[in-house]
Every structure is written in structure tokens, then in C-alpha cells.
Chains A and B, each alone.
Chain A
Amino acid sequence: MSRVSRPFTPKVVTANDLLEGDVIYLTEDDTWTRRLASAEVIEDEAHAQLRLLHAERQPAVAVGPYLADVSMGPNGPEPTHFREDFRRTGPSNYHHGKQEVSTHV
């Protein structure tokens, strides 16, 4: 029997900010950004685990870090699931959350 390993899909590290509670993403230069487009896109499994560990060691900033799937679009990473799409945008009943400020970022 052969063990079929699933191909690794691109990921970002995301969490909620401790103080504000809003969605944050880990960047390549070890800062946190509010914008998915600026997040570090991780292309392989081993690196993903390292970056997640790195995030988990920052409990004073990041609550509940995890790896979220993304796909590459013309403007950088895009969510592959609608849940992540809401997290990067905000709720659909009011213009609140990230969409509230994204017009002047």
C-alpha cells in the first residue's frame, strides 16, 4: 500500500489580536499585519510548523494562532474558504470591522 501524502497548499499564520480582538496575520519580517494581502505566504509544511510555533510564542500579541489556507491571486494571498473571507473583511450586516478602514489603508 502506498502512502499518498496530500500536496501542501499555501498557508498564512493568522490569529486574533490580544488587545483589540481583531484578525491579524504574520508577516515575513516577524511583525503582525491587519491585512491578509501583506501576510507571509508559506509554501511548505516544515516552514509552516516553524512559523506557527513562532506565533505561539507571542501570547502577548496573538490569541489562538493557526494556519489558514490561501491561494495566490494578482494582489497577493486570497482566502480559499468563506470563513477566512469574512475574517479578512468584517460582518456582512454592517460596514464594520476591517472593511470600515480598508478604504483608506
Chain B
Amino acid sequence: MYKYSEFDDAFLAQRNAQFRAQVERRIAGNLTEDEFKPLRLMNGLYLQLHAYMLRVAIPYGTLNSVQMRQLALLAQKWDKGYGHFTTRQNIQYNWPKLRDVPDMLDSLAEVGMHAIQTSGNTIRNVTADHFAGAAADEYLDPRPYAELVRQWSTDHPEYQFLGRKFKVAVSGSTHDRAVIRAHDIGLQVVEKDGRTGFTVLVGGGLGRTPMIGKVIREFLPEHDLLPYLEAVLSVYNTFGRRDNKYKARIKILVHETGIDEIRARVEERFVETRAEFSDAAMDVLAEIREHFAAPAFSRRSLAPFESAYTNDPVFRSWVDTNIAEHKADGHAIVTISLKAPGATPGDATAAQMRLMADLAEAYSHDELRISHEQNVILPHVHKADLPAIHAALKDGGLATANIGLISDIIACPGMDYCALATARSIPIAQEIATRFDELKLEHDIGELKIKISGCINACGHHHVAHIGILGLDRAGVENYQITLGGEADENAAIGTRTGPGFSADEIVPAIERIVDAYLTLRKGPAETFLQTYKRLGMDPFKAALYEEAKADAA
């Protein structure tokens, strides 16, 4: 795992001391809110509906047990005993007090963490495939590149005031688990003619104008990464719109200018940036790589696993849904669901965080990951340890077997917390999960991704959900629009609206009608919701959604 160098430690300490002084000046009345707001946002501190919110970055979603315990400590000491993991591989604390925030930041710095560039028009926390370094289908661990980009972009003087926020995601597998096609820049590590490099995508994004990223460079050699990114950023900084915040993301520039023209401008600029860049970055990369070396995987008997799998149906069901294939023999990737039916998606209590930290330390080479799907991952587990892990998770209320199923819902904070929201998201997620748990249909329904956002900003990824839900304010009443057929992986697609929205009372029955229609229409249990939708299109679902509603009302 990456360790901060002395330079980073000194930088963080200085930044935190500065912010402490700024908070004091604000409280003493020497800074106005207009002056203070950009300063607090640079340090991840928002003011939401009921309280401040501190957003802490978890770079490429990777944590060790000491860091996870520190996150638990913050939750317990300065918040209400829990934290909220988000789609951006951040953790958000919903109840800090202004005076406490400098202490929280100092505590984070003790374990090499911070909240820098989790807000503002900067290059945000670089996100990565949450199975990086572990997945059986992976070509190469993409996190060293993410770390390189983080070091290059953090506090980069030219990129503190971009036209808008800028999000970069990396993946080392062809199967995209990091939604790289919905980011300003998506990097996929690939091999070509024995050389390592990237397929570079640009101009993806969600929000009010969702776009799927386009390939700007089919193959970029590894050593050209930073100069090429510099060229993209430079073209964006020069040509991106600043007249309208809603048109300021690079996706709009790419859309309005055309990918071919953008490619030409980037290549032109790249000639210059490449000449300016020294090869030192490659030495840095080599050093970073050492910190991400794969752990020494053990070889042990699988007997304990096999016997539990045969004899314990609850364990078997959990293994079948929550375990993914690992690259090392006898190993597995465990996804711990933070989506128990009725729970708030992405929330973990301090006790749960400590339990997960303990399990990581004992069984997963001290590593944890946070997924954009708001779950926690133990990436390197020997299968022989799975029964013990499952038993411990059960005791901690964390053994829900629902990964990828209908109750594994992404939900943004919505109007329960967020000042920008137009409707709530969390209660809708809770009700859907609870309802399908009662129906005991979840495993029969199979893979189905529901994602909910509480406003058009789309933090809950609803555009790329199989079933997306968008909460709006229609004449002072919460109203929920449905989209179908979105996809977040390598086949990324924006969902299509079904038609008029539904009230908070009607939305769960509406989702149920869609799911019932799928169960009736599918060729067999092997055909997923998305496959059925692709085969039949919107019409039968629309009919189920609206005609049945009419029939019920009649």
C-alpha cells in the first residue's frame, strides 16, 4: 500500500494548520462567509441542510486497517457514530461541528488521509476498480497510475481553478467496474504488442447532461500518461466554457466541438507537453509500484471452505452472491454489503468499521476497498478463512447476501441531507429493499441494479442503472422519474425515461410492476433483466408501468 513520504506529511500538516487558522478567523469574525466558503470547500467541508458535512477522500478506494479504525474513531468522537461511503470512494460525515473539523483533519493526517480536492473545480479524488490488484480478469493493477495522477494533480497550481470539477477513473480490466465511461477522463490499462499503456476515454459524465466517454486515444504508451493528461487539461482549460456552469464540464466541450477536433488539439498540445516532461515521473512510478506489490498469497487446504459450503446453506448463499474470483489460487474477493434491507445504503457504524478493519488485518493482508457501489471489500482472502469471516460478519449485521441484486441499491444522500436535493433518495432505497426482502424474490430476480439520485446532479448514478430513479420536486411534492436500460460497465449506456413520474407512495409499487413484467417476460431464469429489456425494448415495461396503474385506479 502507498505510504506518504515526509514531504506529503509536511504538506498535510501545513495545510491543516492553515485551515485551523482560517476556522479561527471565521469564528472570530475576521473572515466573511463569502471568503471562508471556498477555503472550507477546498478542505472538503460543506454546509448541508442540517449540519456541516466533511468529505474525506479514500484514494482509489484503498484503505488499511489502521485507516479504517481512524475513520471509526472520527465517526464516534465527532459525529453520530457512523459514516457514509459514497459513489466517489469518499466517506462523508454528516454531523461535524465547525470547531471540531481541524481536529478531525489532524486525526486523518495521522493515518495519511485528508479531504483535499474532494470539492471545488479541481481534479478530484482519482477512483479505481475496487477489485484492483485482486480480480482474476485483471491485466494490471491500475492503482499505481491513480497514485501517480494523484501526486501530479494534488495542489497543482494550474488546476486549482478549472472551469469545473474534473474526475478521473482507472481500471486494469476489460470488464469495467469503475464506471470509467462516466468520468471526465477514463483510463483503461491495456497491453499492445507487448507494451503497457492505456486506452484513454474523455468526456463522460452524469449530471443534467449525461454523456458516455469517447475514445480519444486507442493506445497511449505508459510513459506518456502525465504529458498526455496535461495536454487534455490544457485544451480543456483553454477551450472549455466558463460562461455557464452547466456547460463547463469537458463533456460539453467534447460534445460541442466533436471528438475528432478535440483529439487533434490534444495531439498538437501533446507534442509540447511531452517535450517539457522529464522522465522522472517514470522513476516515481517505479517507486510507487513497490508499494502496491501483491501480497504473498498462502497455499492452504480448502477443506474448511468446502465443508462449510456443503453444509451451511446461509454461508453458501452468501458465497454465491458476495464472493468474486481472485487472481491467486485458493483466494477470493469478499464484498461486504452495506445494504441490509431497510438500512441506509453506504452507511457503516463505528463498530462495523472496526469489525471490518479487524477482518482485513486478520484475513485480507490488511487491505480494504470501498466500492463506488457503496460497499466494502476484503480483496485478498484465502477461501479457507471464509467461514470465519462470514460468522464474524453475521455477528456484526454485515452478512447480507445481496451483491448485484435488487436490494444492493446505490442512493445519494438526497433531501435527507443534501442542500441541492429536490427529493429524498434514502427512504425510497430502504422501502424497495425492504419490499423485495419480504417478497423473497430477490435471488430469483437475479442481477438488477437500481440507482437513485435526489436531483438532476445524478450523484447516485441513476442514468447508468438498469432501473434508475430520479427524485424531483413537482409543484412542491416529491416525484420520481424512472429510467430503464442504463449500464455502468464496458457497455455503458444512458437509461431511457419511461414517461411521467410517480409520487413517493407510488414509486415502490411502480418498481414492483416493472420487476413483475420482467419475471413474466424473461425467457428463463438465466436471462437477466437487462437482457430481457434489450430483447423486448421499452414497450412491454411501459405497458406494465402505466396501463396497470390506470387499471388499478379505475
Contacts and interface: CB of A to CB of B under 8 A. Distances in A.
Interface string A72-105: 0000000011110011001111101110000000
Contacts of B344: 93-94
B50 A22 contact: yes
Nearest to A60: B29
Contacts of B51: 20-22, 97
Interface string B33-70: 10000000000000111111000000000000000000
B416 A81 contact: no
Contact of A80 (B48, B94, B476): B476
A63 B427 contact: no
A91 B478 contact: no
B195 interface: no
A19 B99 contact: yes
Interface string A16-29: 10111111000000
Contacts of B32: 59
Residue from the set A19, A20, A91, A98 with the largest chain B CB neighbour count within 10 Å:
A91
A20 B97 CA distance: 5
Contacts of A97: 50-51
A59 B424 CA distance: 30
Given A19-B27, A23-B50, A93-B426, A64 B33 contact: yes
A12 B497 CA distance: 38
Contact of B50 (A18, A60, A64, A91): A91
B29 A82 contact: no
B430 A90 contact: no
Contacts of A90: 50
Given A18-B98, A81-B476, A92 B426 contact: yes
A21 B80 contact: no
Given A19-B99, A64-B33, A96-B80, A82 B50 contact: no
Given A60-B29, A81-B476, A92-B416, A86 B426 contact: no
Nearest to B430: A93
Contacts, number: 73
Given A80-B476, A86-B416, A19 B50 contact: no
Contacts of B473: 83
Contacts of B97: 19-21
B415 A86 contact: yes
Contacts of A81: 476
Contacts of A86: 49-50, 415-416, 424
Contact of A63 (B29, B33, B94, B95): B33
A104 B473 CA distance: 33
Contacts of A21: 47-48, 50-52, 96-98
Contacts of A96: 50, 80, 94-95
B26 interface: yes
A69 B99 CA distance: 31
A16 B49 CA distance: 8
Interface in B430-475: 430, 473
Contact of A82 (B52, B417, B478): B478
Contacts of B476: 80-82
Interface of A: 16, 18-23, 59-60, 63-64, 80-83, 86-87, 90-94, 96-98
Given A64-B47, A83-B49, A96-B95, 9 more contacts: A16-B47, A21-B96, A63-B33, A64-B33, A82-B478, A92-B426, A93-B344, A93-B430, A97-B50
26 contacts: A18-B27, A20-B51, A20-B97, A21-B48, A21-B51, A21-B98, A22-B50, A59-B32, A59-B33, A60-B27, A63-B47, A64-B47, A81-B476, A82-B415, A82-B477, A83-B473, A86-B424, A91-B50, A91-B94, A91-B417, A92-B426, A93-B416, A93-B426, A94-B344, A96-B94, A97-B50
* For the complex of A and B, 4 pairs with smallest distance between CB atoms: A91-B416, A21-B51, A21-B52, A97-B50
